[in-house]
Amino acid sequence: MLTGEAALEVIQKIGGLDSVAMDTNFLEKGIDSVKIVEILIEFEMMFNIDVLDDQLNLDELSTPKHIQDYVNGIIAK
């Protein structure tokens, strides 16, 4: 499972952010859809899962919490 701490660590690294909270809005921090896909690919490699599928809606992944829930939903399948 993807913990909040691990999610924030990856998001900070890829997003180039000093700090981020689970409810931080990506657009307010300058993280665009390309960066969100990069973040998802990192989790894909970490957990050996397929995160980029036809059900992916980037508009629904606007915070670290949303990404954590999305990734954990795939892991649980």
State the pLDDT at residue 59: 93
> How far is residue 74 from each of residues 32, 41, 43, measured CA to CA in Å?
22, 13, 11
Contact yes or no for 70/61 (Cβ under 8 A): yes
- The pTM score is 0.94
pLDDT for the residue 53: 79
Q: Where are the domains of the chain?
A: 4-76
pLDDT at 52: 82
* CATH superfamily assigned to domain 4-76: ACP-like (1.10.1200.10)
Q: Which ranges of the chain have pLDDT less than 70?
A: none
Radius of gyration for the chain, computed over Cα atoms and rounded to the nearest angstrom: 11
